[in-house]
Amino acid sequence: MKDFGTSQLPRPTVEIVPAKRGLPEQGGKLDLLVKVSVDHPKVEVDRKPLGLALVIDRSGSMSGAPLAGARKAARLAVTMLLPGDWVSVVAFDTHVQVPQALVKVGSDVRGVLAAIDSVQAGASTNLFGGWAEGISQVLACPEPGVVGRVVLLSDGHANSGVTDRGQIAQDVAQAAVHGVTTTAMGLGVHYDEDLLRGMADAGRGNYVFLADEADMVRAFEVEVAGLSSLRGRDLRLAAEPRTTARLAHADADAARAAGLGADAKGIVLSDLIAGMPGDYLVSLGLEPGRTDVRLRLYWNDVVTGAPDELSYPIDLPWLAPADWEAAPIDGRVSEARVLTELASLKRELAEATRRADEQAARQWLVQIRVLIGSLPVGEERSREEAELGRVEAHIRQRAYSSAARYSDVKSRDHFHGWNDAKRAAMVAEQLDLTERKRSAIREFEERGRRESEARTAHSVVAGGPSVPRQPEAPRPGAGGAAVVETNVVLYEATTPGGRVQVVKGDITRQAVDAVVNSTNRSLMGAAGVDGALARAGGQKHVEAMRAIGGIDFGQAVFTPAFGIPANYVVHTAAQPWRGGARELDVLRQCHEAAFALAARLGARSVAVPAIGTGRYAFPPEVAAPVAAGVAKVWLQRGAFELIRFVVFDDATGRAFVDAVERW
């Protein structure tokens, strides 16, 4: 890998939407909807290595499913790291253990995974001791410039060791000054919410509420992807000239409660993460008179290691009082105002449910419902309705602690400018970039190996007779050799046009005419179905993919099937799931294009994975009906004798069985 310098780094962009298309010459306030974003750098540009300490609560209350979920999530986090990153594993109950001291990640992480698996439940909760050991591990990294982060997971209260919240927060803040930030994840409803939220805010990391074990894997995935995508810390946005223009969060108290606020440089924004834009509603206060006004963005770039800034003019006409009053309000800003008010009401709702004051909570719910009804029909309204439904369900069940934690986190999300859809899109983009980086690393290492062998061969020839190398023995299944299928059939039916199956199995062991591959646009994936087929096909598969070069979303191409018992592999690229109709249309196009190409190739049997449900984050219950609907049409045409959906896990299998059964 090579670092091509800052010229290869995308610059942040700031999109400014003013409430009115003008500035008040008599002075006053103008709301601005500000979107701050940055793209991922090119694959050739090295990011800073990560220094990650996974600190896991192993107290008695974590016994069973919670600790099993924590181990699973930690394993995922380790597998998402790149060679050159650093990782350690710390576990704490009454005592602190270090199953894995800080180690540099290589191509083989089995030792780290084994250390994670060794964590077993114990007794009390020395939370601070576990965190402190995590900090110690990261600060001991011998490589300068790593992006340090402690990820702390706990389900209880600090009842051993240091327990004073104020002291803990001070130490966490000091560690952040030294370059090691802290993310705090609370599992269930019995953890110390104030403590973990305070640690995350002081440590400039993330505060995460995990409702159950299933949330852990998603949270760790988001955490590592976000850390890998981190471009800037200590973001500030200010208005200039400051003698006549001031900038504030639209709800300064709520923003401060969410861990933001203001300082001498301006209002505090969330970290700058590639692929995850932050949306902020801010208020620009202006003194009377006309002057050039601009916004200035400050940040510390984690790739270059240097402070940076950009300036954006507010290029609007000055309006006389009558024209200012008559100027219409931009609908986007109106919607942002409603969302900000909703976020503030969620804080009030969280406080009411913490007190178990159901009457007050229901009053807040009424106000929230009315406000949601004022939003235009669309993505934001649908998300708010879904969140409201979840809170109402908690309150009906008298699960007040869950309602409080959920409402609080969703309020914080708004003021940080993020939501779950943005996180899912960021994760998908980062996983895709990571795969391409791994491919580039492998190519670099392979080129070095070939050059080394060439130098050795030249040396042997120069020094005397050489011994011919024996060809390597073919791997099992290479060259289309028969491979025994190991499918678990979850569903099978015969239609007038042909058979349909849903099986749980290995996509590389499907004895069919054509196997469909869910890949990316560069055709260089290294994980999931893409990675499995690449490993089975070896160098011939890689060369065939490189010869094609790339495809667009929804297109399909084919290569011969190397190393698997099929004739062809049909490759198609879905779009990362963001919860919209566009991604569903592209997913439908992927299946249409794949089936059409397989039919043109003369295939009568096709094995299809659950396209998009892996790194591109499609929920199986969303992807399955799309895939089944397209397959039904092709079977009705008599194009194939067999369409087999191959899934990896039971949950995805159930979704596909349900979709096919609805035929």
Catalytic residues: 530
Q: CA–CA distance from 44 to each of 6, 8, 187, 276, 660 (Å)?
A: 12, 9, 38, 21, 43
For residue 212, the 8-state DSSP code is: S
Question: By the 8 A CB rule, do 372 and 385 touch?
Answer: yes
> Residues 395-430, buried b or exposed e (16+ Cβ, 10 A)?
beeebbbbbbbbbbbbbbbbbbbbbeebbbbbbbbb
Distance of alpha carbon 184 from alpha carbon 155, whole angstroms: 11
Distance of alpha carbon 194 from alpha carbon 397, whole angstroms: 24
Q: Phi first, then psi: what are they for 225, rounded to 5°?
A: -65, -40
Among candidate residues 259, 58, 52, the one with its CA nearest the CA of residue 154: 58
Question: By the 8 A CB rule, do 34 and 77 touch?
Answer: no
Tell me how crowded residue 218 is: count the other CB atoms within 10 A of its CB.
18
Half-sphere exposure in the Cβ direction for 304 (13 Å, CA): 17
Among candidate residues 475, 481, 536, the one with its CA nearest the CA of residue 511: 481
For residue 49, the 8-state DSSP code is: P
Distance of alpha carbon 563 from alpha carbon 583, whole angstroms: 32
Question: By the 8 A CB rule, do 168 and 158 touch?
Answer: yes
Element housing 225 (H / E): helix 213-228
E strands, 289-354, in order: 294-301, 307-313, 318-319
Distance of alpha carbon 489 from alpha carbon 502, whole angstroms: 6
Distance of alpha carbon 346 from alpha carbon 400, whole angstroms: 13
Among candidate residues 1, 80, 81, 6, the one with its CA nearest the CA of residue 41: 6
Q: Phi first, then psi: what are they for 639, rounded to 5°?
A: -75, -30
